């Protein structure tokens, strides 16, 4: 009986299609696909720690997501929920997971021809290729430290996106307060909401300006984009929009790094960011060469002062069937004005990352992949909590709040990590 049960279970699993998502509803004018993804990650970290072991080991359920996509008539939609606590831990205690990732509709503007839409809901702000890229296309255990410096992440907003030939673009308006903003009716002094735009040329590498990657690629494909955003903060209740953003805060807008956002009495600030990125895929031999490059800059200023940041990322790799090898370089160019309660965090010296990786994809149900990478972090800020140990703040940026406590300190270190990530989807 046990053998029969096992055989039936294996047969059921093998019957599941390898593609991402399963069609659960298909009627005239309505299509709904349901899918999901999980990522399990193991990490070894090596650094100098005066109180604990120099070698650490961690295991995480990095992602556990449920996805629903489809269309009703010509209107497309997407809903994505995250069940693993994907937000970084925040000092002095871990933050609460806010699980709704995406919920939006794409409404076609037929008067402008095909591939022109108005998108309304919660989704990624169109800034930065690496942050826009779907996790299943990022062949590393984590995004680079350059992403951490100036990421924007998800927000509530409305945008127009479309294409004319090989040129595409997106432009829209967002709250600036991030995702899952609770419903509140508070006194306000309005500034300017977040205005974001991204435009470029693409001969077939991505579906649209949001960098949704095409599944089937042939021939040489490349894309080049420029993007930018602008926001003047608003006073809301006892705080401001940027001061209360819960998740996906960049180093530039993190109140533990930028001392001016939360300084009392509040001085309304201005945020500006700009970037350029490119990607290419060229068939070569039995496989294809892939490359990406991105450079971003941002500035925040108010009546107390200003902070500027720069970040650069470059990646090159070769894909041969189910195997892909990549190497990535990232650098963050910080400011003297990154401080926590008067204590300097970085100074002007850059910190770097060099990460080789190897990915193996398996042709079986669940489309699993195994990714191994070796991040080498050079000159990264490391916080020492007296009597307890060290925190690498590019991994846990909010732990820099500990440096304002007597006896704690911050210094630069070289840190080596080894990561192994398993991903499966349905």
How long is the chain? 426
> Tell me, what's the pLDDT at 91?
53
pLDDT (tens digit per residue) in 314-345? 999 999 999 999 999 999 999 999 999 989 99
> Tell me, what's the pLDDT at 162?
95
For the chain, give the mean pLDDT: 89
- 251 token code pair: 């180093």
> Tell me, what's the pLDDT at 374?
98
> What global pTM score does this model have?
0.89
> Tell me, what's the pLDDT at 90?
56
**Cα distance between residue 160 and residue 116, in whole Å:** 7
Give every CB contact of residue 32 below 8 A, 6+ residues apart in sequence. Answer: 23, 24, 25, 26, 68, 69, 70
> Percent of the chain beyond pLDDT 90?
76
> Percent of the chain beyond pLDDT 70?
91
> Tell me, what's the pLDDT at 19?
41
pLDDT (tens digit per residue) in 57-99? 999 998 999 999 999 888 999 999 998 867 655 555 444 556 8
**Cα distance between residue 151 and residue 179, in whole Å:** 13
Question: Residue 8: is its pLDDT beyond 50?
Answer: no
> Tell me, what's the pLDDT at 97?
52
DSSP state, 266? P
* Extended strands (E) in 215-350: 221-232, 235-236, 239-240, 270-284, 287-302, 305-320, 323-333, 339-340, 343-344
> Tell me, what's the pLDDT at 88?
59
> Tell me, what's the pLDDT at 247?
80
> Tell me, what's the pLDDT at 6?
33
Evaluate whether 160 touches 210 at the Cβ level (below 8 Å): no
Query: CA dist 175 to 123, 260, 288, 352, Å?
Result: 12, 20, 40, 32
Question: Residue 390: is its pLDDT beyond 90?
Answer: yes
Question: Residue 12: is its pLDDT beyond 70?
Answer: no
> Tell me, what's the pLDDT at 366?
82
Position with higher pLDDT, 379 vs 216: 379
Question: Residue 256: is its pLDDT beyond 50?
Answer: yes
Among 16-20, 211-215, 285-289, the least confident range:
16-20
Question: Residue 38: is its pLDDT beyond 50?
Answer: yes
pLDDT (tens digit per residue) in 200-227? 999 999 999 999 987 677 889 999 999 9
Evaluate whether 350 touches 333 at the Cβ level (below 8 Å): yes
> In 68-134, which residue ranges form alpha helices assigned H by DSSP?
129-132
> Tell me, what's the pLDDT at 87?
62
Domains contained in the chain, CATH given: 24-425 (2.40.160.10)
**Cα distance between residue 382 and residue 346, in whole Å:** 10
């Amino acid at each position: 009986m046990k053998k029969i049960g096992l055989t039936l279970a294996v047969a059921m699993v093998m019957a599941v299609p390898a593609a991402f998502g399963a069609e659960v509803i298909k009627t005239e004018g309505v299509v709904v696909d349901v899918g999901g993804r999980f990522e399990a990650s193991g990490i070894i970290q090596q650094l100098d720690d005066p109180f604990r072991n120099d070698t650490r080991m961690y295991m995480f359920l990095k992602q556990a997501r449920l996805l629903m996509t489809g269309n009703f008539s010509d209107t497309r939609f997407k809903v994505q929920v995250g069940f693993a606590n994907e937000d970084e831990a925040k000092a002095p205690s871990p933050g609460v997971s806010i699980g709704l990732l995406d919920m939006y509709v794409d409404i076609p503007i037929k008067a402008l021809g095909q591939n022109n839409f108005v998108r309304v809901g919660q989704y990624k702000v169109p800034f930065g290729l690496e942050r826009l890229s779907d996790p299943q296309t990022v062949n590393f255990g984590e995004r680079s430290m350059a992403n951490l410096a100036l990421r924007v992440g998800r927000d509530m907003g409305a945008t127009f996106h479309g294409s004319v030939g090989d040129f595409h673009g997106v432009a829209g308006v967002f709250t600036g307060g991030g995702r899952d903003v609770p419903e509140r009716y508070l006194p306000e002094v309005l500034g300017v909401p977040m205005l974001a735009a991204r435009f470029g040329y693409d001969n077939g590498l991505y579906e649209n300006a949001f960098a949704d990657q095409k599944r089937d690629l042939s021939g040489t494909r490349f894309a080049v984009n420029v993007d930018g955003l602008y926001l003047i903060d608003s006073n809301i209740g006892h705080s401001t929009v940027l001061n209360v953003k819960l998740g996906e805060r960049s180093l530039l807008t993190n109140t533990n790094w930028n001392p001016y956002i939360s300084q009392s009495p509040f001085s309304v600030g201005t945020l500006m960011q700009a970037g350029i990125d490119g990607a290419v895929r060229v068939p070569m031999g039995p496989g294809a060469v892939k490359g990406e490059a991105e450079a971003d800059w941002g500035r925040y200023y108010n009546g107390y002062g200003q902070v500027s940041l720069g970040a650069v990322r470059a990646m090159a790799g070769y894909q041969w069937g189910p195997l892909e090898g990549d190497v990535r370089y990232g650098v963050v160019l910080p400011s003297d004005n990154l401080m926590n309660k008067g204590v300097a965090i970085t100074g002007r010296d850059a910190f770097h990352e060099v990460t080789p990786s190897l990915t193996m994809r398996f042709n079986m149900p669940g489309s699993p992949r195994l990714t191994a990478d070796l991040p080498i972090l050079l000159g990264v800020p490391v916080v020492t909590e007296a009597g307890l140990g060290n925190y690498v703040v590019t991994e846990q940026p909010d732990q820099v709040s500990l440096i304002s406590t007597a006896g704690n300190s911050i210094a630069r270190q070289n840190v080596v990590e080894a990561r192994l990530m398993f991903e499966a989807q349905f």
